[in-house]
Structure 1
């Protein structure tokens, strides 16, 4: 049985929203370690598989350009996720029970300063999983046809 690389991509993205929702549900150090490992595992797979998936979807011609276009999600995601985290953090500075003043600077302390950020990141990551699943469904017929041709060539 052969699975399309786009299916593996969709499967590999699942740990990311799970990690963020784990951070929402648990404030333990073990949950933080597990979530960090899940995000790293998922990101590492996606980063390494992106080249072959790009080449398969768009062909080998201009693979470098196509790959660079597709991986613009890395800096854009970093920018948008960071901006969202900053907005949530700034909003939590207004809550006196979580704010500590150090050298004249307000510092939000505790899990509650970031919990809303993790909820947002988890929901956004779910959109990524859904998008990759739709990509798998859209390319499934082409991968099935390719596999049938490969099996037919083996028989002849």
Structure 2
């Protein structure tokens, strides 16, 4: 009973502190979405330490400022599986499967990039969408319009093939 009472008081204290913050420092939670434009599997990704799984759909949550300010950055890390259907070629016995899986996981590739978070007006941010493009390029948007909408700023197609030479 005493622990519950202490937790309740701590919660009230935290809410009081949050209520005293200025508008420029207010933060809010939003969805963290991924759109995979590549032919490879995105096993997981993280944005500024908020981790999500998979290269499509959305995960909860990322915390971002309510009001956009210059200099907002997204530091993105991700893991790529360039042969996501490899398991279909693995042995069916448990030990052979386990060894094949370990060998396959050792081939996963890891990348990171820092990109600017584009400006949004007022409180019109709808979380953060991370677009994984060919050549390990990243674009992010806070648009409330879904991918494929004419109003969404990201226009690159899905299932993009890697060019013979990637731009530097």
TM-score by length of 1: 0.23
TM-score by length of 2: 0.22
More strand by share: 2
More helix by share: 1
